[in-house]
Amino acid sequence: MPRTVRQAVPLDVLILGDHASAHLTAAALRHDHPRLSVARLALESEHSPDRLTMVNPRLFDLHRVLGSLRKAKAFAPTFGLSFLSDEPGVAGEFRSKQISSLVVSTRWFQQAVSRLAAESGVDQRHVKQLVIRGAGEDGVHLLADGQSILARVLICAMPLSDADRRTLNFPEAPEDPVSRNYQFARVPAPQTRGFSTRMTIPMCLDLGGTGAWAWALTCGKILELGVLQPPGRATPAPSDVIAAWCQNLKSHGILSEDAPLPTRSQYTTITLPTAQALIGETVASRTLLIGSAGGFISDCAEEIYPTCWSGVLAAATAARALRERHVQDALAGYRAAWGSTLGDYLRGPQQNLRLLLPLVYRNPMMAARVAEAILFGESVVR
């Protein structure tokens, strides 16, 4: 008997990944274009550790579907940055009357945006196996747990293998001179002092003279100590860098002298492809890359705002392209959409901030300029 061929499930847009940017992209597409068939798939094996992160308050202006999250208590407001030197008593501060940043759990935000996508009617599911079979004039052909899918446009927030990149006609990935290792550990917030309801975020821009950046982020009952290593440097043991950061915080009276160091089980190291979109390709055969898969993490290691921004831009680009006769040509507009806006934000401060630190500690105006460059992507030189 002839073999039965299962017909492919047709979709206008298929979004891959379990990152918050994937959920927001799906929700935005369904909200703005309810006639489009939109689905999101993620691998069951896809996982990223939960951490605290700073979020630009402009996040809620990216798309109206985020409006319901604006007043969520899971976001801890902060009002500036305190720049700490390695020398006790030497510090600079930028204090704002308005909320300058929000601190939130990455997992909480991912789950919250997933609910928004579900409420928008997006078909979402996890699969054990996902195979990208090829891309043609009609779209991208995939197999998800044996089910054949044809997506007219694929939006990917999930890291692609080298084989998948070749299948989708992405150029060979460039050498990676920009990724940074981020090491963090969590301790219970009750062990701390120096934090208030209108707190500034303690930060060091040259921890131990290594050029590493360090933060102390608090949200709810958690204090997270994080250190961002310079690109292209050997990564020291987390216990060493976190211990150095703890000592700095103690010397400035932010951590109590008897606060214990985190245990080995509390240390985590992840790699962040900071600003990698600026040196890589984000458009291929019927495919757009968003989120961390596209390298849309700022050079200051800010993740949620720029990755979600890339997703909103990709959603708008895909919807426009599907109305055009030549879909692939229209998808190329994604580069210009993010390059002229998000691109500048990804670059972060172009100045060597280590050289400015003596002024930051003495001059409140310079402290404000450096803080605004880190928090809002503004230029130090104006």
Composition of the chain by helix, strand, coil, percent to 5: 35, 30, 35
Q: Is the pLDDT of residue 179 over 90?
A: no
Cα dihedral angle (381, 281, 130, 35), rounded to 10 degrees? 80
Q: Could you read off the pLDDT of 328-373 as tens digits, one per residue?
A: 999 999 999 999 889 989 987 766 788 889 999 999 999 999 999 9
Q: Could you read off the pLDDT of 54-86 as tens digits, one per residue?
A: 999 999 999 999 999 999 999 999 999 999 999
d(CA 199, CA 122): 38
- Name the region of 231 (left: φ>0; alpha: ψ -120 to 50; beta: rest): beta
pTM of the model as a whole: 0.93
Q: Could you read off the pLDDT of 182-238 as tens digits, one per residue?
A: 999 988 875 444 455 468 999 999 999 999 999 999 998 889 999 999 887 778 888
Q: What SS3 state is found at 342? A: helix
The number of residues in the chain equals 382
DSSP string, 74-92: TSEEE-EEEEE-SSTT-EE
